[in-house]
Structure formats: structure tokens, C-alpha cells
Amino acid sequence: MTSAEIIALEEKYGAHNYFPVPVVIAKGQGVRVWDPEGKEYLDFLSGICAVGQGHCHPKLVRALQEQAEKLTLISRAFYSDQFGPFAEYITKYFGYQRVLMMNTGVEAFETACKLSRKWGYTKKGIPENEAKILVAEGNFHGRTLAAISASTSPDSMKNFGPAAPGFLSVPFGDLQALEEKLCDTKIAAFVVEPIQGEGGVVLPPEGYLRAVRKLCSEKNVLFVADEIQTGIGRTGRLLACDYEEVRPDVVLLGKSLSGGLFPVSAVLADDPVMLSFQPGDHGSTFGGNPLACAVARVALEIVKDEGLVQNSARQGELLRRLLREAKLPHVREVRGRGLLNAVEFEKDAPVKASTLCLALRDNGILAKNTRESVIRFAPPLVIQESEIRLGVERIVTAFRPVT
């Protein structure tokens, strides 16, 4: 089928809950993908940071195939031969005592909300049904009811109310406001992204995360880091929190935890927090299934064995330098860490970011705007210097007609 025919079928039969860039991807390998007509593109979005290990990494594909031939699902009603060994591997990998496996990033966020409330009631002594969770303004934790109730985007709750109660917000990066909010003894947790990805790749002020750690410890509030988009090497460190050498009480992982090959997410915490959960408190039919565990283990092995954290730091620095040197028209700022980067346009730019994404597509670059004035560039962590340079050449060509 042609790209046009495939898009027409999705428009006719699919729910209209996305507005994708009009391009169809039929095949992928590494950083490159192809449409049904055979045109090649450089993927500078990575499935919104999920395909960190590159498309169809042979080790991941092999792990999926080998496990699928043995056992795919048994649910947590029984023990599997995969979950225990993987739980040991991932906890030692990130330096935590316990892991709770789910499937998607937003499920990890939901899990953290439940875990924080349970800890708040049973460990901190918050009165029943009065626990609050503090979030940062401009956040994006997903699209479930709890996640959109925690959002500060005006459109997030429109026609979806009433909002779930118990969420408070504070400006991202504002330590004085955070300290004032944390005086509320009913706050169980502060959930924050180390870098706000969907918010436009917004970096916090230097020292912010260290101060968050200090304030949360002083106020007996859980520091929950949503590293679903920023974790596993994306920002040039294993976790984005590592830039300030802070250790959150709870870490949320997803996306490239499986290299984009299979839905896998995880919540990491130590015994005093995680063991707030008792049997029956939380779970998922597919969470921690054998296939997910087998794939996720190999995904993490690839990151370590192939030096993808270091490559992300190196190639990301090159990407930002080349984009800045290109002096792209009407660009106010190039920012980011590792391979999570953004180009933000001036307020009076004559073209929208979404329109420029079409020009990028026409020039063989796949990217997506996160706001009307921001385009995110987040290629797979396996990208090499030659592909960075080729990508920047195509970006410059796409931007050239903008006056």
C-alpha cells in the first residue's frame, strides 16, 4: 500500500487522538527509517525518546524472538524464570533495593502517586484521604485522569473534568515557592522531571535538583524523579539527576527501557518506601511479564556495553554546537543535554514550528514540535558523528526558505 492509502485508512478507522506528521514509516534500522515508497529519513525523534538503542537493534530483536518462543505471559499470579533475575539486575544497575514493573510511562506515574500516598499514610502519618502530591508547572506525566489532573496545561482538563483531587503545583525551578509549598505537612511527594521534555526541553537552574533533594529530606517528603523521557542515557548521564549527583527516593523509567521494542516501565525505590505496598495493593496483568523482562535486560545491557551514555553526551554536544554555528533564522535558543535537545523560535517568527516539521520531513529529517515555538531533536543514542553532521545539513536546508 502507498503512504497516502495508509494515512487515509487511519483517518477513516482510527480515533483522531493524535495529529501526526504526515509520513508513514514502514522499516527502520539504527537511526534510519524508510517509508513504503523507499524514501529514507533520519529519525530525530526516536519514538519520543523510546528508541534509544536504535531501530531493530539485532540483540533486542533476538532477545524478543528467543523469549517469545519459550514463554510470553504468565502474569504475576505465578513466578516466572525471568522476573526475579531481572529485578536483581535492574535494581543493581540503578542502585535501588526494589523495583515494581509496569508497562507504560503513565502507569509508572500512577504507581508513584499510589505509592507516595500509601507511604504518606502509613509512614509519615498523614490523615487518611488528605495526602497531597506536589508537581511542577509545565509538567507532562501522561494522559490518564490522574496525569492530566496533575497537569497545569489549560487544555489538559477541558471536557475531561472533574479533576482528580490531591494535586498541587509549583513553578518549575522556583526554589522559594517550593520551600513554601513543602511547609504543608500533608504533602507526601514532589514529582518532577529533571528536564521538562514535552514542556519544550526546559532545563532547571543549576543546583535546582540538589536543593530539591535537600528540601524534600528536611520536610520528610518523597522526591520522585520522572526520568521516563530523560533516563537511561538520553541526557548524557545514566539518569538526568546524575548531573547534580542527587538520588531521588523514587525513580520512574520507561520508553527506552525496552529500546522501544515492547511496552515496559519501572518504578525504583528502597525498602522503606516500596514496602509500603502490600500484596493486592497494586499490579498489572502484563507488568513484569517474561517477554518484557527479557527485552528490558538486553536493552540495559546494550546501553552499558556500547557506551551509549557517553555517546549521547558526545554527540549531543556536537549537535548543539553545529546548530548554534548554523545560525538558523528566527531561532532564539538551542538548548538541551545529551541527545535531548530543542530549537526554540523567536516570538515573532514568521513560521510555526509545526510547519517547519513538514519542511524537515521533506528534507529527510523526522522531528516533532513540542510547543508552537519549539522543535525537539532527540535521535537514537547510537547515532554517529557522520549522521549528526548529515542531519544538521538537512536541518539547515529545511530552514533556508524561512525569512
Task: Point out the residues that are catalytic.
Answer: 140, 226, 255
Alpha helix positions (H), 202-343: 208-219, 271-274, 290-305, 308-326
C-alpha separations of 314 from 287, 306, 319 in Å? 34, 14, 9
Is residue 73 classed exposed, middle or buried when 0-12, 13-18 and 19+ CB atoms within 10 A define those classes?
exposed
Q: Cα–Cα distance between 134 and 178 in angstroms, integer?
A: 9
- 3-class DSSP state for residue 209? helix
What pLDDT does 219 receive?
Answer: 98
Query: Which three cell numbers, joined as nine digits, stand for 155?
Result: 487544555
- As to burial, measured by CB atoms within 10 angstroms (0-12 exposed, 13-18 middle, 19+ buried), residue 158 is exposed
pLDDT (tens digit per residue) in 359-374: 999 999 999 999 889 9
Question: For the chain, which domains are there?
Answer: 59-305 (3.40.640.10), 310-352+360-377+394-403 (3.90.1150.10)
Strand partners, 394: none
Strands 374-377 and 340-345: what pairing? antiparallel
Peptide bond into 329 cis (omega under 30): no
- How confident is the model over 352-362, as pLDDT tens digits? 999 999 999 99
Nearest to 255 by CA among 340, 138, 368, 369: 340
* 3-state SS, residue 341: strand
What is the mean pLDDT for each group of 10 consecutive residues in the chain (403 residues)? 97 95 98 98 97 98 98 92 98 98 98 98 98 97 96 91 96 98 98 96 98 98 98 98 98 97 97 97 96 98 98 98 96 98 94 94 96 94 98 96 68
| pTM for the full predicted model | 0.97
Say what the pLDDT of residue 208 is: 98
Give which of 194, 214, 219 is closest to 139, Cα–Cα.
Answer: 194
Are 192 and 211 a contacting pair, CB within 8 Å?
A: no
- For 167, list phi and psi in degrees, rounded to 5: -115, 135
Element (H, E) at 98: strand 98-102
C-alpha to C-alpha distances, 220 to 80, 128, 217, 264, nearest whole angstrom: 36, 17, 5, 30
CA dihedral (112, 116, 118, 121) in degrees, to 10, reads: -170
Q: Which residues of 274-301 are buried (b: 16+ CB within 10 A; e: fewer)?
A: bebbeeeebbbebbbbbbbbbbbbbbbb
Query: Which strands form 40-43's sheet, in the order they lie side by side?
Result: 27-29, 32-34, 40-43, 365-366
pLDDT computed for residue 75 by the predictor: 85
